[in-house]
Chain A
Amino acid sequence: SQTIHQWPATLVQPVGSPLSLECTVEGTSNPNLYWYRQAAGRGLQLLFYSVGIGQISSEVPQNLSASRPQDRQFILSSKKLLLSDSGFYLCAWRKADYGYTFGSGTRLTVV
């Protein structure tokens, strides 16, 4: 069966520090992968999506970047975190029947 792993679960980082969040999917090949951010009271905002290795689409201009170095690996990064980067980050992958499966999320607090 397919599973999605996301880590770390929680992270506290100082302003100006770098960020790397990792997401991996098991049990499938060539999935569409997504990064969402959830800010308090603001729902989920699509940040990036990828339809294949090295293919990244950015939905909103921001302080973050994404990479897909392997078929089932999706990484969210920042060179210098801002306070406004705090939030709950969710990785997801899409199944062929249009269902999306989400990871358990990373709670990022920038201090």
Chain B
Amino acid sequence: QKEVEQNSGPLSVPEGAIASLNCTYSDRGSQSFFWYRQYSGKSPELIMSIYSNGDKEDGRFTAQLNKASQYVSLLIRDSQPSDSATYLCAVPSNTGNQFYFGTGTSLTVIP
């Protein structure tokens, strides 16, 4: 089983809708979780981090963490065409020296 798993998609949503991206992880001891966005041909950039169970909101983005079920999700409200990208879930190793990345979910927002 991979450390981090994501549905590769592609996921298509109409402009203005809510996009929901999901990620599961295997290490029950993981404490921190990260979402990176990667535009086509570009490098990944961090958009959200979450450390505690529950929701964390930042503008149109909400990260949700459920440690008991070992999943973390990213909601994008009022989706815009500029949100079209691949979203990568990342979980640090227990030493913090390495990151395990999911394969990413490709999101397309249709105008």
- Chains A and B bind each other: no
Q: Chain B residues in contact with chain A, CB under 8 A?
A: none
Q: Chain A residues in contact with chain B, CB under 8 A?
A: none
